[in-house]
Amino acid sequence: MNARMYNEGEENFLSLDPTSQYNPSSLLSDPQQLNLYAYARNNPIRYNDPSGNASVVSNVKKFVKNTTAKIIRSGINYVVGKAILSLTKSKSESNVPSVYTPKATIPTVLKTSAPWMDVAKKEIGVMEISGPGNNSRITEYHSTTKLNAKNDETAWCSSFANWTLNQSGIKGTDSAAASSWLIWQGGTQLDKPAYGSIAVVGNPVTHVGFVAGQSDRGGIILLGGNQGPEGSGSVNYSPFNPDSLRYFYPNEHTPNYTLPIQ
C-alpha cells in the first residue's frame, strides 16, 4: 500500500481515509465510504485500492459478472460459508453472505428487547438482481410504502425498515425515502445509539438501517437493506461512522443502550 498501511488479518486499513481530512463532504454521497478504515468500499471482489486513497474497479469485476451469469443460467446451487446462494433461471429470491460478519453472538436479552431485529436478521442475504428481473421479496418491502415500487432497482433501505417494523406490529413512515425517518411520528429521537434503533445516515440523508452493535474500532454496525455497491445491494451487516448517524426509536418501547461489540 502507498498512502496507508493495510492489516490483512482485520481486512482494514490501519489509519483513517485521508479523504476525510481534506474533503469530508465527498463521503456523504457514498455510505460505504463512511467507514474510514474500510478497504475498497467493503467489496474487494469488485474494487481494489492500490494507493490507499481511492477505490477503483477491479479487473476481477468482469470475471465475476460472467461467472455469475453462467451460474444463473445453469441453475447451480452452491454453498458459500453457512449461507446458501440459490440463483435460478427464473431469477427468484437470492441469498448471499452478509458484507459484515459479526464476531460475537448478540445476547438473547437484546433480541427480545427489540423483536423487529429478529425479523430483520431472517432477511439477511436478500439481494437485488443485477440486470433484467426483480427480486419479489424486495418488491414486497416496497409494498409497505406509498411509492409501492415494482422493481428492486428503486432504493429500498427505507422500504425494508418499514416492512420489518410492520411485521412486528409497529407503524413506520409509509415512505420509501430514507429522510422520512427524521419526521417519523411513531418514534422518538435518541441522543445515542440503542440496540434496534433506526439510524439515519448522512446530512443530507443517504441511507437508513437498524443499529445491531458496535465494532471494536468504534464504528456502528447497521443491519439494513440495500447495503452495498449500486446494483448489488443486499440485507447485511455494515459498519458506519457514528458521526454521520442520527437515531430514532419506536414509541411505547424502551431502548436498550447496551450494544454488543462485534
Q: What is the pLDDT of residues 56-90, one digit of tens each?
A: 555 545 545 555 555 555 554 443 333 333 333 32
Residue 220: name the closest of 242, 243, 246, 188 by CA.
242
Q: Where are the alpha helices (DSSP H) in the chain?
A: 19-22, 60-74, 108-113, 115-122, 136-142, 157-167
CATH 2.60.120.200 applies to domain 99-250:
no
47 versus 194: which is more confidently predicted? 194
> Per-residue pLDDT for 142 more than 70?
yes
Q: What are the structural domain ranges in the chain? A: 99-250
pLDDT on residue 216: 87
What was the pLDDT predicted at 15? 62
Contact yes or no for 84/95 (Cβ under 8 A): yes
Q: Where does the pLDDT of residue 17 fall: very low under 50, low under 70, confident under 90, or very high at 90 and above?
A: low
pLDDT, greater one: 11 or 192: 192
Across 129-144, average pLDDT: 95
**pLDDT recorded at residue 60:** 47
Q: What's the pLDDT at 119?
A: 97
Cell numbers linked to 22 = 481534506
Give the least confident one: 2-6, 128-132, 232-236, 239-243: 2-6
CA pair distance 197, 190, nearest whole angstrom: 9
Reported as a pLDDT band with limits 50, 70 and 90, residue 262 is: confident
pLDDT at 231: 80
What's the pLDDT score for residue 87? Answer: 32
pLDDT, residue 49, reads 62
- pLDDT tens, position by position, 198-256: 999 999 999 999 999 999 888 999 999 999 988 889 999 999 999 999 999 999 899 99
Instruction: Return the C-alpha cell found at 32.
Output: 460505504
Among 100, 66, 55, 92, smallest CA distance to 262 is for 100
| pLDDT of 95 above 80 | no
Of 94, 46, 36, nearest to 228 by C-alpha is: 46
Kindly state the percentage of the chain with pLDDT values over 70: 57
Which runs of consecutive H residues, i.e. helices, occur in 82-219?
A: 108-113, 115-122, 136-142, 157-167
